[in-house]
Amino acid sequence: MMFRQNSILLISLICIGMILACTPNKEKGEKLKYQEQYRPQFHFSPEANWMNDPNGMVYWDGEYHLFYQYYPDGNVWGPMHWGHAISEDLVYWEHLPIALYPDSLGYIFSGSAVVDHANTSGLGKDGKPPMVAIYTYHDPIGEAAGRDDFQTQGIAYSLDNGRTWEVYQDNPVLANPGIKDFRDPKVIWDEQTQQWIMSLAVLDKIRFYTSPNLLNWTFASDFQPSWAAYGGVWECPDLFPLKTESGEEKWVLLVSINPGGPQGGSATQYFIGDFDGKTFNPTQEDVEWIDWGADNYAGVTWSNIPEEDGRRLFIGWMSNWDYAQVVPTTTWRSAMTLPRALSLYTVKGKVYLKSKPVEELKALRGKEFPILNSTTEIGSKSFEVHIPLSDEKEFEITFSNDSQNEINIYKVRGHLVFNRSKSGNTSFMESFGRVNAVKLPDIQLDMISIYFDQSSIEIFINDGQLAMTNLVFPKRAYTHMDLVGINPAGKIYHLNSIWN
């Protein structure tokens, strides 16, 4: 008996000891999450492994859903799944299990999601509208066999707020007519014509389809103006209405293109025009880019944002196919851009697209201090800087560290230039060190805002009239900021991590 009591005591002590020994390690392990070198602290990135395009963004029942191209078994591109995360505020994200897995029709490529409020698809149940994902099936077997019809469009639906998904039994809903690049469906409900509209990237054009029910699609028109950018294949379209400052409705068409971007590799062009439920007619003929940096690709906007909010919310993949698979990150590859609200602004009768980081990000602001001198010690790896501009002909802002890494942002001869040639590790791809430049539009420059997060820098002129997003891989954080040709003024905010 005594022996039994002693051994129970001993076993209990061993267990308590083990728990005590394990707890700090576990906590330590948890704290280490999202602490790798270069790991973004206030941008979305997957817990581990490879991510590319944002997919299926939809708002429903208080949650912003973000699905994304995901390869769970490695940190380079592979058989695509849809990863999934949700947020109540576009700032803090919760990872959810993978939503869509490859099946007998192929890998799950990019696409969109909508809430079918009127249950036009009949996939809803007991008065609950379905959340419907519309995506491209990429059949690797058909591709390997040299066929040209290996990309088709399929759908899946969820009746529990995106937590579990049922693949539609009669997929594909849109078969391939024999065109190799036939992908990335973005679907919207068009109030005016009371039908669903699908924008699809087809080689180097955008093809529009219409549907009453998300299940049967009818060809409407092709968009392929002679003057657009055609340096590469067209991908990931998005079509949506926005109002100008004077209240006139315009339609915006986003088209990602790879290669052929203004800084080399991938980038997203946009078109402003009118749309009558069938045809998109551009009302201006210039190539414009949603972001003039090298690292904002495949971005599209959220569906079903409530009318009382009224914003058109965008997020992009913060990388470039030129080097996305070799950037020097370790356990994961790629992050998304900051979420941005899109709006229109007019200069000399011409309408442009503006993208501004969402207001919700202000919740991350920590220590705040004014810029008083031409040299400032920043003191954080994640920060936000706002510097007022007046009519400087030329200026230069340099961020640097004690390891001789620096990035230079400067205005010269009417251009905004971003130089990352000495930013840190650039050796993984020769073209990465290339200097980025954009001709400034004919606007008064009032403010430059910069968001820096470990390995990315997003620059916005005048609240996003011009945006430039770029990756950088410094040996250590840039701790100094030097201003030349600008009056030292404005503010710096340290930004808190969303992961810890």
Instruction: Report 340-369 residues binding ligand FRU (CB under 6 A).
Output: none
Query: At closest approach, how far in Å is the CB of 461 from ligand FRU?
Result: 26
Query: At closest approach, how far in Å is the CB of 26 from ligand FRU?
Result: 35
For the record, the structure tokens of 491 come out as 């503010």
Query: 53 an active-site residue?
Result: yes
Count CA atoms within 13 Å of residue 127 on its CB side. 0
- Print the binding letters for residues 12-51 with ligand FRU: x by CB under 6 A, - otherwise: ----------------------------------------
Instruction: Report 67-86 residues binding ligand FRU (CB under 6 A).
Output: 69, 80
Which among 53, 139, 184, 291 is annotated as catalytic? 53
Asked whether position 269 contacts ligand FRU by CB under 6 A, the answer is no
Judged by beta carbon, residue 80 or residue 327, the one nearer ligand FRU is 80
Asked whether position 298 contacts ligand FRU by CB under 6 A, the answer is yes
Count CA atoms within 13 Å of residue 175 on its CB side. 3
Residues in CB range of 343: below 8 A, 6 or more apart:
242, 312, 353, 354, 356
Backbone angles phi, psi at 45, to 5 degrees: -140, 150
Q: State how far the alpha carbon of 140 is from the alpha carbons of 18, 53, 79, 169, 366, in Å.
A: 49, 19, 9, 20, 48
Asked whether position 238 contacts ligand FRU by CB under 6 A, the answer is no
Judged by beta carbon, residue 50 or residue 473, the one nearer ligand FRU is 50
Asked whether position 110 contacts ligand FRU by CB under 6 A, the answer is yes
- Strand segments (E) across 203-277: 205-211, 218-223, 233-243, 249-258, 267-275
Which residue is it, tokens 């400087």? 392
Judged by beta carbon, residue 109 or residue 314, the one nearer ligand FRU is 109
| Enclosing H/E stretch for 8 | helix 2-32
Of the candidates 98, 40, 38, the one whose C-alpha atom is nearest the C-alpha of residue 69 is 98
Query: At closest approach, how far in Å is the CB of 112 from ligand FRU?
Result: 11
Asked whether position 53 contacts ligand FRU by CB under 6 A, the answer is yes
Query: At closest approach, how far in Å is the CB of 427 from ligand FRU?
Result: 24
Judged by beta carbon, residue 136 or residue 470, the one nearer ligand FRU is 136
Distance CA 141, CA 105 (A): 9
Cis peptide before 172 (omega within 30 of 0): yes
Distance CA 16, CA 21 (A): 8
Number of residues in contact with ligand FRU under rule CB under 6 A: 12
Query: At closest approach, how far in Å is the CB of 237 from ligand FRU?
Result: 10
Asked whether position 52 contacts ligand FRU by CB under 6 A, the answer is yes
Asked whether position 183 contacts ligand FRU by CB under 6 A, the answer is yes
Distance CA 367, CA 379 (A): 10
Asked whether position 121 contacts ligand FRU by CB under 6 A, the answer is no
Q: Which amino acid is at 453?
A: D
Query: At closest approach, how far in Å is the CB of 320 from ligand FRU?
Result: 10
Query: At closest approach, how far in Å is the CB of 431 from ligand FRU?
Result: 18
Asked whether position 136 contacts ligand FRU by CB under 6 A, the answer is yes
Q: Which of 215, 236, 364, 481 binds ligand FRU (CB under 6 A)?
A: 236
Asked whether position 109 contacts ligand FRU by CB under 6 A, the answer is yes
Distance CA 409, CA 78 (A): 35
Query: Which residues sit opposite 408 in a β-bridge?
Result: 398, 419
Tell me the catalytic residues: 53
Report the interface residues with ligand FRU, using CB under 6 A: 52-53, 69, 80, 109-110, 136, 183-184, 235-236, 298
